[in-house]
Amino acid sequence: MPDLIAQGPNAKDRWRRELPAPTSRVDIVVGRAESDWNVPWDGAISRSHVRIRSLAGDRIEVHKIKGSRNPVYHQGQQSESFTVVAGDHFVIGQTTFTLVNRPGTAGASAASGSSGKPGDVTEHAFDHQMLSRRHFRDSASRIEMLSRLPDLILGSHSDEELLVRVTGVLLQATPSASAVAIVAVDADSDNVNILHYDNRSLGRVETPVSERLVHSATHKRESVLHLWSAGAAEMAAFTAADEVDWAFCVPLRSEACPGWAIYVTGQLVSESGLDIGQSMQEAPDDLEDDVKFAELVGTTIANLRQSRRLQRRQTELRHFFAPVVMEAMAGRDPDEVLKPREADLSVMFCDLRGFSRASERDSSDLLDLLARVSDALGVMTRRILDSGGVIGDFHGDAAMGFWGWPLNQDDSAIRAATAASLIRSDYRRQADAGGFRCGIGIATGRAVAGRIGTVDQVKVTAFGPVVNLSSRLEGITKAFGAEIVIDQATADAIAASSEKRFRVRRLATVRPAGFQNSVQVCELLNVDEANSPLLSDEQIAIYESSLDALIEGNWDQAYEMLHGLPVWDRPKDALLSTILKHNRTAPQGWDGIIDMPKL
């Protein structure tokens, strides 16, 4: 595709940009500010002045945007809409816009020319370490340009803008340069691709880039200078223009810019009394400052792209890792942080209530159902992450989170209880508007956490009996009609803390499905919950006394006490159901443990 060059009244007021392919059907708006391509130096140009569309045959179509103030001149006439071909131009205010063809590359196959002697090109390599220790001869002007470089480059919002600015800086800083290109060598094909190109002239013929020089510099990983006599016709494959008699290539030594290099070409400036041979002999010393400056520019580009690469990686990782994991990995080896290890964890399973009914009811509008389920799962994940937890997994309409890894959290049980309480409150508010309810199980204990999986797929999660227990506790919420069920270890941690937001009620001693041992399960209650009935301390004491009577086999006593609790208290109904199932008489061999079916 051709390029569009904008040239203002001053040499520095310019840019050169590649136009999009005609098949993309992408329009480019050119204006003074907040356009696709800005021309900030010309006050006669409106914020959005013309719209450009690429056409086949290296042409563009230009339309003046309605409301733009000053006229657009093409071929000496004011025009609202016109077509521009390569080599043609149009003018707005003091800025000339010229369409030019982008140059290609001169391959090694043509490098020997008619003489068949590639050695006619003189090559000089610059040692990177020695060059870095060398001082600029014209240090004042170079330092002034270098001081502007960070702002110029850091202000680039894209790679395209970065390359435009870099080539502009290099043309300004290298007076003898006629053209500058940023190139990249394809790792597979070894082809040289021109990422961006700019030159001082607006001629139809552009200087091609020497593939031989680019390959030499990138393979050696050193800056390389090629010199030739401008009159040597057999060297045309390296020059492609009679006035060009030197070119140097600076490789960018960074993984962030694989195969990238800066390519600068121009003319020797012979001092009075020196012939061309003497000028070529002194050229490496004369151009050393320009090469050193290009290396500094290249280092700045590489550092900026590396920084952006890390920022993108961090942004991408945030979609996969919790903030607490990102914090742990900061400045450390990720493999070491994510390596599976044992830790004291509090694990939560949170399940949506009402999903099955909603999926059956809303089967005709599954996308809407998906959006509602995603929003509901988002409530879970937000509360888990906000309390310093890690999202371990998703199981259909349920989510698993855990606390205590990768950073040790002595208050992991409190964090889990806080997240569970907030999730419950969020769902209660949403349920009033036809949303979902939740069931939450929390267990605390020893587990393995980290990057766990197979060679085919891995995930950051937790593994161990405490994980299985928390999943079973979530299922037990259905049997007891309690929204949050916790194990004794979690209840003990809450009791030992200074937290006054929570109350805990012993529910029963149960044997979860698939477990051999029994566990004491409790219900997590809030001290205050708006718009929801609350048990008093006295009522909690009555329930726990009736539970003790049940365990001891005094079922009649337990039955009478349970009837003193509010009708809306669902856990008391679960104990009454157990009592009535056995006609209010403890079965033979009763050990105080309720066996829970797998729900």
CA 248 to chain centre: 36
Rounded Cα–Cα distance for residues 177 and 171 (Å): 6
Give residues with Cβ within 8 angstroms of 45, minimum separation 6.
30, 31, 32, 39, 70, 92, 93, 95
Q: Which of 575, 440, 444, 555 is nearest to 506 (CA)?
A: 575
pTM (2 decimals)?
A: 0.55
Tokens read off for 189: 């094909």
What pLDDT is attached to residue 506? 96
HSE at residue 574, side-chain half, CA atoms within 13 A, is 19
What pLDDT is attached to residue 118? 44
DSSP bridge partners of 224? 125, 249
Q: What is the pLDDT along the chain (599 residues), one digit of tens a residue?
A: 789 999 999 888 889 999 999 998 899 999 999 899 999 999 999 999 999 999 999 999 999 999 999 999 999 899 999 999 988 899 999 999 999 888 777 764 433 332 233 446 788 888 888 887 778 777 777 777 777 776 766 677 777 888 888 888 888 888 888 899 999 999 889 999 999 998 887 654 577 899 999 999 999 999 999 987 655 444 434 443 444 588 999 999 888 889 999 999 987 765 555 555 666 677 788 888 899 989 888 888 888 777 777 666 666 555 566 778 777 777 677 788 888 999 999 999 998 876 566 666 666 666 766 676 777 788 888 899 999 999 888 776 788 999 999 999 999 999 999 999 999 988 887 654 446 788 999 999 999 999 887 756 668 899 999 999 999 999 999 999 999 999 999 999 999 998 888 999 999 999 998 888 999 999 999 777 666 778 999 999 999 999 999 999 999 999 999 999 999 999 999 999 999 999 999 999 999 999 987 76
What pLDDT is attached to residue 466? 96
Are 291 and 249 a contacting pair, CB within 8 Å? no
Tokens read off for 108: 């090694």
Tokens read off for 21: 């392919």
Write phi, then psi, for 396 (nearest 5 degrees): 65, -110
- Hey, how many other C-beta atoms are within 10 angstroms of the C-beta on 69? 10
Which H/E stretch holds residue 448?
strand 437-453
What pLDDT is attached to residue 114? 27
Q: Check residue 396 and report its DSSP letter.
A: T
Are 21 and 174 a contacting pair, CB within 8 Å? no
Give residues with Cβ within 8 angstroms of 571, minimum separation 6.
480, 481, 482, 505, 507, 523, 543
- Amino acid identity for residue 440 in this structure: I
Rounded Cα–Cα distance for residues 66 and 583 (Å): 88
* Dihedral (CA of 218, 219, 225, 227) sign: negative
Tokens read off for 452: 């766990």
Burial grade of 553 (CB within 10 A; 0-12, 13-18, 19 or more): middle
Order of strands, sheet of 77-78, starting from the edge strand that comes earlier in the sequence = 14-18, 3-7, 95-100, 89-92, 72-74, 77-78
What pLDDT is attached to residue 427? 83
What pLDDT is attached to residue 37? 93
Q: Which of 264, 263, 208, 283 is nearest to 239 (CA)?
A: 208
Are 417 and 425 a contacting pair, CB within 8 Å? no
What pLDDT is attached to residue 593? 93
* Dihedral (CA of 206, 15, 175, 197) sign: negative
Which residue blocks in 28-109 are alpha helix, DSSP H? none
- Hey, how many other C-beta atoms are within 10 angstroms of the C-beta on 308? 15
Are 97 and 6 a contacting pair, CB within 8 Å? yes
What pLDDT is attached to residue 457? 66
Rounded Cα–Cα distance for residues 96 and 116 (Å): 43
Rounded Cα–Cα distance for residues 237 and 235 (Å): 5
DSSP bridge partners of 484? 440
Give residues with Cβ within 8 angstroms of 126, minimum separation 6.
222, 223, 224, 225, 284, 288, 291
Rounded Cα–Cα distance for residues 276 and 68 (Å): 53
- Amino acid identity for residue 209 in this structure: V
What pLDDT is attached to residue 433? 41
Rounded Cα–Cα distance for residues 429 and 426 (Å): 5
Rounded Cα–Cα distance for residues 287 and 267 (Å): 11
Q: Which of 166, 199, 197, 208 is nearest to 293 (CA)?
A: 166
